[in-house]
């Protein structure tokens, strides 16, 4: 009889501990679901079929990657627009001014402006060498390298390129040829441009959309502007080695090229604006898809807040009851029993 009662007590104690453990696990699970809003056992909630949720998660991951590319493209394009705007303001002011002064200013007045114009050209170099988030925006696919080398080395190279030219027309033509020389010919593309405008700069911003960051310091729109500034930089470097007539004609040649360059910069900005619009449209479409997928994901795995709270309150009540029962049974003795 004593042995039977002893086994019964042990069994009852085991059952109480088992009940406590079960309720504690249920409490932890419900607490987690209430805090995260997600069912703790997703495979069980989906009946073991994870196909839909896996597809949704993969799609959301892909869209997250697109968003990173969109952020990069937006930053790069905005950096380019800011640089082009700065360059265009300089060119818009300087181009017409050079043409006007070529016909009206005295030789001393023309010479007095050369150093200032050369400094403006140096500033333009710095603008083209600008970077966004550690990437040089006008370097093409070689975005870890500043697209333009030494300004002083470029001016020296220009002097070599125009050596022997006798007229302003010849000087300007040789400078044009130096900037337009194909890679491997010893011109601008070899001696000054250090980026890469042949590699891929494509960024995927949506499943069916890509944008290219293909505008570089070696693009025609940039070279047309640089040609006009380079003529004036050459004139500043040559100094008194140029006679008054040649200097005056160089002002005319430079002014004409800068006006042409301004048109090219406007076209470049327009093209960038169109690409920015593509990126903005892709961002809107991606955001709409993320919202739809997130709702679908929630419908599959989110825990019902009302049911969770109700079950949590019920579990807490059961735990309190179990603890009360355990406390009462633990105080039983032979006197109480008799």
Report field, pTM of the whole predicted structure over 0.85: no
The Cα–Cα gap between 41 and 165 comes to: 82
How crowded is the C-beta side of 268, counted as CA atoms within 13 Å?
Answer: 30
Q: Where are the domains of the chain?
A: 54-292, 305-338
Question: Can you tell me whether residue 283 is helix, strand or coil?
Answer: helix
pLDDT tens, residue order, the chain (338 aa): 444 444 455 565 666 566 556 656 655 665 665 556 555 555 566 566 667 878 888 999 999 999 999 999 999 999 999 999 999 999 999 999 999 988 888 889 999 999 999 999 999 999 999 888 889 999 999 999 999 999 999 999 999 999 988 899 999 999 999 999 998 999 999 999 999 988 778 889 998 899 988 899 999 999 999 999 999 999 999 887 889 999 999 999 999 999 999 999 999 999 999 999 999 999 999 999 999 998 887 766 665 555 656 665 566 666 666 566 666 666 545 444 43
| CB 262 within 8 Å of CB 92 | yes
Residue 313 corresponds to which tokens in the numbers above? 């309150």
Q: Which CATH superfamily is domain 54-292 in?
A: f41 fragment of flagellin, N-terminal domain (1.20.1330.10)
For residue 163, give the nearest of 237, 224, 113 by alpha carbon: 237
| CB 141 within 8 Å of CB 201 | yes
| CB 265 within 8 Å of CB 257 | no
The Cα–Cα gap between 239 and 295 comes to: 71
The Cα–Cα gap between 41 and 328 comes to: 35
């Amino acid at each position: 009889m004593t042995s039977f009662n002893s086994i019964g007590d042990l069994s009852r104690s085991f059952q109480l501990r088992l009940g406590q453990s079960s309720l504690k696990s249920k409490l932890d699970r419900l607490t987690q679901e209430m805090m995260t809003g997600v069912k703790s056992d997703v495979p069980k909630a989906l009946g073991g079929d994870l196909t839909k949720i896996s597809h949704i998660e993969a799609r959301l991951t892909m869209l997250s990657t697109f968003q990173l590319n969109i952020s990069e493209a937006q930053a790069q394009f905005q950096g380019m627009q800011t640089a082009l705007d700065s360059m265009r303001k300089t060119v818009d002011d300087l181009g017409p001014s050079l043409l006007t002064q070529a016909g009206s200013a005295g030789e001393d007045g023309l010479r007095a402006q050369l150093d200032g114009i050369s400094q403006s050209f140096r500033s333009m170099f710095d603008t083209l060498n600008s970077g966004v988030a550690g990437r040089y925006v006008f370097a093409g696919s070689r975005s870890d390298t500043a697209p333009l080398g030494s300004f002083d080395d470029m001016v020296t190279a220009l002097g070599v390129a125009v050596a022997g030219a006798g007229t302003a027309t010849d000087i300007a033509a040789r400078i044009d040829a130096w900037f337009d020389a194909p890679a491997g010919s010893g011109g601008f593309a070899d001696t000054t441009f250090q980026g890469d405008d042949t590699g891929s700069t494509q960024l995927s911003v949506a499943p069916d959309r890509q944008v290219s960051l293909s505008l570089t310091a070696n693009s025609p729109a940039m070279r047309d502007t640089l040609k006009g500034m380079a003529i004036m930089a050459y004139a500043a470097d040559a100094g008194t080695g140029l006679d008054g007539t040649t200097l005056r004609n160089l002002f005319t040649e430079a002014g004409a090229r800068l006006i042409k360059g301004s048109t090219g910069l406007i076209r470049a900005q327009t093209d960038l604006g169109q690409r920015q619009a593509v990126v903005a449209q892709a961002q809107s479409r991606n955001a709409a898809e993320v919202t739809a997928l997130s709702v679908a994901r929630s419908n599959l795995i989110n825990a019902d807040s009302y049911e969770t709270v109700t079950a949590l309150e019920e579990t807490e009540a059961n735990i309190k009851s179990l603890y009360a029962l355990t406390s009462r049974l633990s105080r039983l003795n032979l006197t109480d029993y008799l």
